[in-house]
Amino acid sequence: MPSPFIFFQNLLAPPAATEEIAIAHDYLTQRGGAERVVLAMHRAFPEATIYTTLYDPEKTYPEFKNAKIVVSPLNRIKFFRKNHRAALPLLPLASSLLKVPARKTLVSSTGWAHGFNFAEKSFIYCHSPARWVYLTDQYLGDHTGKVMSFVLRFLRPALLLWDQRAARHAGPYAANSTTIQQRIEAVYGGKESEVIFPPFSIPSEKGIEPLPELEEFMKDGDYFLVVSRLLPYKNVDVAVQAFAGLNQKLLVVGDGPMAEELHEMAPENVQFASNISDAQLRYAYQNCRALLAVSYEDFGLTPLEAGSFGKPTIALQAGGYLDTIREDINGIFIQSPDVDHVRAGLVQFDSREWDCVAIHDYSDRFSEHWFKKKLQEKMGDL
């Protein structure tokens, strides 16, 4: 009878390569920028299987239903599919055991997929080293429950060891922004990475679809727009509070753990929409006055989406927005994510004139065509 050591050694052994190219991503359980990048990767390599720990086809983008997706055993547990953050204590093991039998793997990682068990070579497209390890306070914010906060802080040393080992064994890295390039170098002992900007994937040329339940609210095109997952570090609560008492309107598009809290605090001039189609999101962009982006982002994707409709952005002067906002072209900056600075940004926005054509042309520099070409070159050279 084989010993437990031999059993686990076999579990952790790399698989034999049976595919040429595969795609790996942490989990497909939500609709966000990282998941849109995975869709762009799949369009670049349409025959590639996607490997992920958890997959909920009803919570993420419907286009994934057209892909072959392989999941970890964790996916059998419905609770984890619906609440991937609750699976955090199990994800290091699940990730280490998830075998990817490809000669080359294109990895989209926000903290887990770079640690999958690859047969041979991997190329890591890093959205960010794990926030829950390196930016714990920012990740938790002021709204996380005491139990989750305690669990994460208790597990942090073990997660740090796992992440550092995964990074050492992974292939070359690319960063999605200059901010992430600097973070990779800082947390992984000087590891070098090339910046490859992700594409925006809500082009204005495709069809639009109204949101019937918000038709009256949106009809005059006089609302500001937030497009974001509803998490503490996204600062959506600050945007909501800033509109209290104003004669201006705010539409928040997104879902997440803070949804109930945000609905409770919102004044009448703030409305919400979640789990909408891309056609409805295009309608929201097309009819807004401007995008409001006050979160700490690794890459400022939504200003490019808004820009494809000729809409400017009021953005926090930090993180990925430094790569995608040009104050003389497509937006203005605020210095801090607080109510006073957001309101000052609204006043400054109203005092400016905007060239919609110039905004649109600037967004075109970040098209999917260039992203696809760069990835194909990188995977060809791997």
Confidence of residue 9 (pLDDT cuts 50, 70, 90): low
- Segment (H or E) for 73: none
Per CATH, 7-199+368-381 and 212-365 having the same topology is answered yes
Model pLDDT for residues 199-210, shown as the tens digit of each residue? 987 766 678 999
What pLDDT does residue 346 have? Answer: 96
CA 280 distance to own-chain centroid: 19
Q: Which two tokens stand for residue 234?
A: 């996204």
Supply the CATH classification number for the domain 7-199+368-381: 3.40.50.2000
Q: Is 105 helix (H, G, I), strand (E, B) or coil?
A: strand
pLDDT single digits (tens) 102-152: 999 999 999 999 999 999 999 999 999 998 888 776 666 655 567 777 878
**What percentage of the chain reaches a pLDDT higher than 90?**
78
| Domain range 212-365, CATH architecture | 3-Layer(aba) Sandwich (3.40)
What's the rounded mean pLDDT across residues 297-302? 86
Would you list the domain boundaries of the chain? Answer: 7-199+368-381, 212-365
Average pLDDT on 288-313 reads: 93
Q: Are 140 and 152 in contact (CB under 8 A)?
A: yes
Residue 297: pLDDT band (50, 70, 90) is confident
pLDDT in tens, 234-261: 999 999 999 999 999 999 999 999 999 9
pLDDT at 354: 95
- Mean pLDDT score of the chain, rounded to an integer? 91
Average of per-residue pLDDT across 320-348: 95
Long-range contacts: 338-346, Cβ < 8 Å, 24+? 338/238, 339/238, 339/241, 339/242, 342/238, 342/239, 342/242, 342/292, 342/294, 342/314, 343/242, 343/246, 345/292, 345/314, 346/224, 346/242, 346/246, 346/248, 346/314
Q: What per-residue confidence (pLDDT) applies to 355?
A: 96
- Residue 10 pLDDT: 59
